Structure 1
């Protein structure tokens, strides 16, 4: 049974973790109505680099979007063997073997192997009435379609949707410009949920509606009332107008109703034909096809822009969710990213679950939802997989020191570094307003999960001074020594320019204190990613459990 809140209401789910593990361990079969996924594939890199052969001695290519996941390695080889030894159907095995012969052991094959394992699980969790939409680009869409055909069956393929995401640039000299993405649409069963969508008519069609009575019903045009085939029983005279040769299209009762509603157009000549008023606002739209050119990409000035490199327009995801699910249905995004699919599901009254492998994405989605729908939204979903105790924090540090640093920074409402780079000991920044004009100042955050000493604190004090930041916060796993405390105490005080309130220049806080909901003493801070409103303290986060008692 789905896990619910104490009041019995459904709680949406936001996971931090590897989606393959979450799918296998926590999501039951036939429980999801719609899956949308936009897996990372950085085709902006050199195509030749992606297809470069891998040997045991050769360094892996630096493909940033894959974050070392989509490189041919021992892990990829092990997953390939797992699929071949029983983790997939014979058709899937045949497809993988053929692709390996075709491509060789390279990063594209690693991507396809990693995706195959996940697509097998995604197919398992779909209801028979459910569907999957895989968003990709033409670099790998043809390979992914082969895999999807093998998993779902070629007869379950519904559409290859083309989204024109940008105008053609002038730098394509020996080929046509690449300016579209591909959405592969598959059904789990023979009768998938699908809501027919329409688009607006073009200007030529709308120009036909040239009459307007000024009664609020808008423009209209004349429509025929004569029957295209003989209707002897409808050959009546109406208000002195003789019937057409084949008779009327409607009964006299319907004609009287149209007349009473002022929906008839009477000609001046008695031998001319009565027509009916066809209002533009009452006409069905144009049935939507599989080429979408009416949704622009996120540009640098877009209000919804978050700065996430692969962010898709909300309107695009609204279209997908509207077409392939109904209100109350459960939508899953296993590569949640900045949460656009989750936002669309929330806006359209669907239940949802999102998974992402980075704490940065999880925190961004949390911030996005609270910014868009208000703090009350936080009571409708739980964040799973984030540490709740010291053992969990230590496990996260052991698994990924970088993700541990990110988690610590986000816990105190800071924005962590996007990449693991030479940061001079600074792992994130907190911003807070200093006046009513939109100006802000910074708090530099340094995180240490291992051994610490007074020099680390003194380094932070020096960096705060050299970078002219307002304050600094030092987060450590271990309890700080007396010398570390003295180094922080000697940093001095910061006076807020707005009210002259004093704050310690550098503050120390342990991971255990963060878990106990203690926070550094700071002015009201700005919400990371959305620099427009103060951010309140996060409520307690749940344990890793999708469906359970």
Structure 2
């Protein structure tokens, strides 16, 4: 059974049995101090102003980073010593936090990897050189296999004062010297074909000639060969590459090339249509990024092409093997594993990632895929939801909005009393109606929360206001909400202000709407061009468009299928306020 986990990958990794995974691919945030947003599409196509913050690619020094540093030192002597050395240079910095948080996770990844397994770590030059030292310490230098260079973009917009940054780095390490390796090939370039496949059979098949001389001295392969053309060919002093039986088989299949000159050597035909191509090098420039018009594109900021992950999965695993992606993002590694007949485990800390992956799997493989994996970490009852609220309020807030079939409002700065929007249509109305969602978790939520919600509904010209409470509402809150009356057509009148408890979030219809629910199209607050800049980007965006200013270390999450597909990088000096 395949597994999809919502939560901290360190917790999930520690719960996994040792030596249970055949291949690990990880594409963690690159510590490039950039923020990324996913734009949601409108009902009629095109970009929407409504958006959900995908994640913040920022690691900040704090108690979690210090704990990771201490745990690394306790679990792994070499890695702990290396981080101690880094501390002398990076003490208290974001880079030190990033390295400590990665080291403690890489220790667990090596533990769950089988002796025949491999690990691919995808990063960029921001921290690749430090990460390689950590990998050397944890996996040992002798298990280093490759530093793969992937050309992720052809854009040269950042080349005004330096060479254009167009590549990512992928480190390949094995658990031992017994790793699975299925040789991968790349297609011949046209100029190579034109230069080498210059011979043609009567049936038109192109071929090149290959030497039949053994590279080593093999006395047992020295024999005179009486060919089907009536001539006798003498062996090289080293001997032939193949046995007499194989030579005869090649002759019967018309795979021997008979030279015109008597003193020339017998050769083997290598047909173009049977050739796998060139054995892949450690520079992968034949796998283009996902362009804006690509059908593969989901709108996830750092989405990698399926061809890249299919190559990795094919090279270092076999059918039925288990592939783990502990930073699974939009699920490209999971998609590739499923496509190639592997089992898989995906972990991500954002609801956006989990929901995008589920929708992606259904779109690619049909609804039957739902029964092939188990989802862990999503609240199953009120107690789970309360635990999520206590652990990560912003995660709970987004989960609550998505559970109501809404879309979170997630922008730098104050939320203006809006945590989400539910968009719906009513018969006879051309424009969509909206319900404002406000999520409150404090123990002392009272009538003031209702007053504020009523004012936001009026300001936004919305029809309904929904207040989500962790604790049951008080009597004064219920009376104040009821005083606002009802709205909707005569056939379906619903309260203007509605209060939903955690328990009610698990009911079939926690919010009463006078129409059909539909994904939100716009949040009403306009965005000033002077404060926001929008760039269309192709492929990876980490180094190309970092956000200036500070950012909190928490990652933003969401849990609703997205329609559209524009990436927006927001430049802002604001920092997000937590509740």
Q: Does TM-score exceed 0.5, indicating one fold? A: yes
Q: 1:357 to 1:42 in 2, by over 3 A?
A: same
Structure 2 CA distance for aligned equivalents of residues 434 and 233 of structure 1: 89
Q: Report if the CA contact (8 A) 1:210-1:220 is conserved.
A: no
Residue in structure 2 matching 1:22, options 8, 12, 23: 12
Q: 1:485 to 1:283 in 2, by over 3 A?
A: same
Q: Report if the CA contact (8 A) 1:41-1:65 is conserved.
A: no
Root-mean-square deviation (CA, aligned residues, Å) is: 4.0
Structure 2 CA distance for aligned equivalents of residues 390 and 132 of structure 1: 38
Which residue number corresponds to residue 286 of structure 1? Answer: 278
Q: More strand by proportion, 1 or 2?
A: 2
Which residue number corresponds to residue 482 of structure 1? Answer: 478
* C-alpha displacement of 1:254: 3.7
Q: Report if the CA contact (8 A) 2:24-2:120 is conserved.
A: yes
Structure 2 CA distance for aligned equivalents of residues 443 and 294 of structure 1: 48
Structure 2 CA distance for aligned equivalents of residues 327 and 286 of structure 1: 23
Q: Report if the CA contact (8 A) 1:331-1:350 is conserved.
A: yes
Structure 2 CA distance for aligned equivalents of residues 264 and 441 of structure 1: 76
Q: 1:475 to 1:143 in 2, by over 3 A?
A: same
Q: 1:223 to 1:45 in 2, by over 3 A?
A: closer
Structure 1 CA distance for aligned equivalents of residues 212 and 130 of structure 2: 53
| Partner secondary structure for residue 56 of structure 2 | helix
C-alpha deviations, 1:508-543, integer Å up to 9, x for none?
A: 5432122244454562645944439xxxxxxxxxxx
* C-alpha displacement of 1:159: 0.6
* C-alpha displacement of 1:83: 2.9
| Structure 1: runs of 5+ lacking an equivalent | 1-9, 47-63, 533-549
Which residue number corresponds to residue 386 of structure 2? Answer: 394
Q: Report if the CA contact (8 A) 1:226-1:244 is conserved.
A: no
Which residue number corresponds to residue 407 of structure 2? Answer: 415
Which residue number corresponds to residue 231 of structure 2? Answer: 243
Q: Report if the CA contact (8 A) 1:96-1:113 is conserved.
A: yes
Q: 1:295 to 1:411 in 2, by over 3 A?
A: same
Q: Does 1:513 align with 2:520?
A: no
Which residue number corresponds to residue 330 of structure 1? Answer: 322
Q: 1:369 to 1:488 in 2, by over 3 A?
A: farther
Which residue number corresponds to residue 493 of structure 1? Answer: 488
Q: Report if the CA contact (8 A) 2:71-2:104 is conserved.
A: no
Q: Report if the CA contact (8 A) 2:34-2:56 is conserved.
A: no
C-alpha deviations, 1:311-342, integer Å up to 9, x for none?
A: 22222111111111111111111112222212
Q: Does 1:129 align with 2:124?
A: no
Q: Does 1:531 align with 2:563?
A: yes
Structure 2 CA distance for aligned equivalents of residues 275 and 193 of structure 1: 33
Q: 1:43 to 1:337 in 2, by over 3 A?
A: same
Report 1 or 2 for greater relative contact order, CA contacts < 8 Å, sequence distance ≥ 6. Answer: 2
| Partner secondary structure for residue 312 of structure 2 | helix
* C-alpha displacement of 1:455: 6.1
* C-alpha displacement of 1:98: 1.6
Which residue number corresponds to residue 346 of structure 1? Answer: 338
* C-alpha displacement of 1:210: 6.9
* C-alpha displacement of 1:66: 4.1
Which residue number corresponds to residue 571 of structure 2? Answer: none
Which residue number corresponds to residue 71 of structure 1? Answer: 60
| Partner secondary structure for residue 25 of structure 2 | strand
Q: 1:458 to 1:343 in 2, by over 3 A?
A: farther
Structure 1 CA distance for aligned equivalents of residues 174 and 210 of structure 2: 42
Q: Report if the CA contact (8 A) 1:152-1:188 is conserved.
A: yes
C-alpha deviations, 1:44-88, integer Å up to 9, x for none?
A: 669xxxxxxxxxxxxxxxxx7345xx222233233323333xx23
Residue in structure 2 matching 1:317, options 288, 309, 317: 309
Q: Report if the CA contact (8 A) 1:454-1:487 is conserved.
A: no
Q: Report if the CA contact (8 A) 2:143-2:177 is conserved.
A: yes
Which residue number corresponds to residue 35 of structure 1? Answer: 24
C-alpha deviations, 1:450-485, integer Å up to 9, x for none?
A: 355566556556655655667665433344553255
Structure 1 CA distance for aligned equivalents of residues 202 and 483 of structure 2: 78
Structure 2 CA distance for aligned equivalents of residues 350 and 484 of structure 1: 56
Q: Report if the CA contact (8 A) 1:409-1:428 is conserved.
A: yes
* C-alpha displacement of 1:347: 1.6
TM (norm. structure 2) is: 0.72
* C-alpha displacement of 1:179: 1.4
Structure 1 CA distance for aligned equivalents of residues 309 and 350 of structure 2: 21
For structure 1, which segment, 324-333 or 368-377, has the greater mean C-alpha deviation from structure 2 after superposition?
368-377
Structure 2 CA distance for aligned equivalents of residues 220 and 212 of structure 1: 5
* C-alpha displacement of 1:287: 0.3
Which residue number corresponds to residue 556 of structure 2? Answer: none
Which residue number corresponds to residue 132 of structure 2? Answer: 145
Residue in structure 2 matching 1:220, options 196, 205, 226: 205
| Partner secondary structure for residue 93 of structure 1 | helix
| Partner secondary structure for residue 402 of structure 1 | helix
Which residue number corresponds to residue 570 of structure 2? Answer: none
Q: 1:264 to 1:331 in 2, by over 3 A?
A: closer
Q: Does 1:355 align with 2:347?
A: yes
Structure 1 CA distance for aligned equivalents of residues 386 and 206 of structure 2: 71
Structure 2 CA distance for aligned equivalents of residues 162 and 79 of structure 1: 29
| Structure 2: runs of 5+ lacking an equivalent | 36-54, 215-220, 520-558, 565-579
Which residue number corresponds to residue 377 of structure 1? Answer: 369
Structure 1 CA distance for aligned equivalents of residues 259 and 181 of structure 2: 44
For structure 1, which segment, 130-139 or 335-344, has the greater mean C-alpha deviation from structure 2 after superposition?
335-344
* C-alpha displacement of 1:297: 2.0
Aligned residues: 484
Q: Report if the CA contact (8 A) 1:165-1:179 is conserved.
A: yes
